[in-house]
A = this chain, B = another copy of it.
Amino acid sequence: MRVISSELANKIGENVHLEGWLHKKRLLGGLTFINLRDRGGIVQAVLKDKAEVDKLKGLYTGTVLALDGVVVKEERAPGGVELHDAKITVMVPVSEEPPIEIDKPLSHKPENLDTLFEYRSIGLRNPTEAKVFIVRSALLRLIREFLYKHDFIEIQTPKLVANAAEGGAEVFKLDYFGKQASLAQSPQLYKQVMVGVYERVFEIGPAFRAEPSATTRHVSEVTMLDIEMAFIKNHDEVLDLLQDLLNDVLSKVWQEQEQALKELKATRPVLSPKFPRYSMRQIHELYGKANDKDMSGEIDLTPDEERWICEYAKEHDGCEAVFATDLPRSKMKFYHMAKDEDSAYSADLLFRGLELATIPVRENRYEVLVKQMAAAGIKEDDPAYKFYLQAFKHGLPMHGGCGFGIDRLTEKVIGLGNIKEAILFPRDINRLTP
């Protein structure tokens, strides 16, 4: 019966059977030490018998092995235990060095990222690297648990759509049995009509943006958490939900993944139960004053303002997450609700200097929506929007929600420098493989 390396601390003195990958081999004082990697981590084995050592001749890191031996307490070894008198069975021999060195963490410097992605599935065999996606998987699990508890149901909406221009960004187009289809930029229209059925829905899935930008923030395929909730009384209710979600998920991920996060050199987030809420105008003023700049001509927040306000809030409010509220009306989408002449009921959730989500109230009054769509160049009888307007005509209560970037969240929770490092196989203007 196979035992996983993480179970060994409870099996001292026992004979065990391990299976995994040869991770490292070295000679020390006439003894051969090998590190075996499995899904539980790394375990060190000591080979005394020359016949056993010979089995590894010409074999390299990655060789799949079984080890049979006795578990011995050894505080200097990883995990505090060691395997003695190990007998080796080679299961899959590997006769070449790996293309990148994986027994120490890989370089994540900007100039080395291409190498990182080119050899992604080999590089992740470094146990520290691997923890990035263990943390990401845990974040997704905890987000779902929070939303289930809050009466949301998970839906799947189509990624092949007739019209995907609602987000404003460039869309990928393709031939769909003779018709033109787009790849969905978000489940925006679909999730909104579904609150007319379930009140509270969410989706976690891919979204596609054909933006030809090559920055640390842009990729052409992202994983989005889309949330939509109906019967809200005001904008603050939606912000409260997002704030509670982030507080819950980040405190739990640090409870259960503390060791992984520390190994990744992540910093424990500083969050307050209620996130500070500053209007765009306030942020422009605060930033202008502190930096002796005139921001009165700015509409959006600049990337530097996003960084600055998060630092300001950390110091001033004890919170690394901030809501930038009252986003400019001139930038709002047709499906957002205007607040007054200047601003919309819409906010950005900023965390550690990066926008994670935009959180608006939706326009739910049919006549106003039709006007806003017309202003955006969409006709009331456009067949691609028929199902959307239908739901409003037949009654949608006030609702709001967000599109929340899972890749960006993972990046900022761990403290990576580029969104692509938080994605298993990232896609950008230059990268379609692996």
Residues of A within 8 A of B (CB): 2, 19, 21-22, 38-39, 60-64, 91-92, 94, 96, 98-99, 118-122, 124-125, 130, 133-134, 137, 140-141, 144, 148, 151, 153-162, 172-177, 179, 181, 183, 190, 193-194, 196-200, 205-206, 208, 210, 212, 220-221, 223, 231, 364-365, 383-384, 386-388, 390-391, 393-398, 423-427, 429-430, 432-434
- Known contacts: A144-B141, A395-B63. The answer to whether A197 contacts B2 by CB under 8 A is no
Interchain CB contact under 8 A, B2 and A432: no
- Known contacts: A159-B206, A172-B174. The answer to whether A92 contacts B424 by CB under 8 A is no
- Known contacts: A174-B174, A395-B94. The answer to whether A425 contacts B157 by CB under 8 A is yes
Residue among A22, A175, A194 with most chain B CB within 10 A: A194
Interchain CB contact under 8 A, A206 and B156: yes
In the docked arrangement, what's the CA distance between A62 and B391, Å? Answer: 9
Distance of A431 from chain B, by nearest CB (Å) = 10
Given contacts A141-B148, A181-B432, A386-B434, 16 further A-B contacts (CB under 8 A): A21-B395, A39-B200, A60-B394, A64-B397, A92-B396, A96-B393, A99-B390, A121-B387, A133-B198, A158-B221, A159-B208, A160-B427, A162-B433, A172-B175, A190-B424, A383-B433
In the docked arrangement, what's the CA distance between A424 and B190, Å? Answer: 9
- One complex includes copies of this chain to the number of 2
Distance of A345 from chain B, by nearest CB (Å) = 17
Interchain CB contact under 8 A, A432 and B179: yes
Interchain CB contact under 8 A, A394 and B122: yes
Distance of A184 from chain B, by nearest CB (Å) = 10
> Which residue of chain B lies nearest to A430 when distances are taken between CB atoms in the complex?
B177
A118 partner residues in chain B, CB cutoff 8 A: 387
Interchain CB contact under 8 A, A156 and B223: yes
Of B154, B208, B393, B424, the residue contacting A137 (CB under 8 A) is B154
Interchain CB contact under 8 A, B231 and A121: no
Interchain CB contact under 8 A, A64 and B220: no
A434 partner residues in chain B, CB cutoff 8 A: 193, 386-388
Interchain CB contact under 8 A, A196 and B125: yes
Interchain CB contact under 8 A, A397 and B96: no
A208 partner residues in chain B, CB cutoff 8 A: 159-160
> Which residue of chain B lies nearest to A426 when distances are taken between CB atoms in the complex?
B158
Interchain CB contact under 8 A, B393 and A176: no
A194 partner residues in chain B, CB cutoff 8 A: 121, 124, 424
- Known contacts: A193-B121, A397-B64. The answer to whether A154 contacts B141 by CB under 8 A is yes
In the docked arrangement, what's the CA distance between A181 and B433, Å? Answer: 10
Interchain CB contact under 8 A, A122 and B390: yes
> Which residue of chain B lies nearest to A122 when distances are taken between CB atoms in the complex?
B394
Distance of A417 from chain B, by nearest CB (Å) = 20
In the docked arrangement, what's the CA distance between A59 and B19, Å? Answer: 69
A121 partner residues in chain B, CB cutoff 8 A: 193-194, 196-197, 387, 390-391
24 A-B pairs with CB atoms under 8 Å apart are A19-B397, A21-B395, A38-B199, A60-B394, A63-B395, A92-B395, A92-B397, A98-B394, A119-B390, A121-B387, A124-B197, A133-B198, A141-B148, A144-B144, A156-B424, A157-B424, A158-B424, A158-B426, A159-B208, A160-B208, A160-B221, A176-B220, A177-B210, A386-B434
A60 partner residues in chain B, CB cutoff 8 A: 394
- Known contacts: A160-B221, A424-B190. The answer to whether A125 contacts B387 by CB under 8 A is no
> Which residue of chain B lies nearest to A393 when distances are taken between CB atoms in the complex?
B96
A390 partner residues in chain B, CB cutoff 8 A: 99, 119, 121-122
A99 partner residues in chain B, CB cutoff 8 A: 390, 394
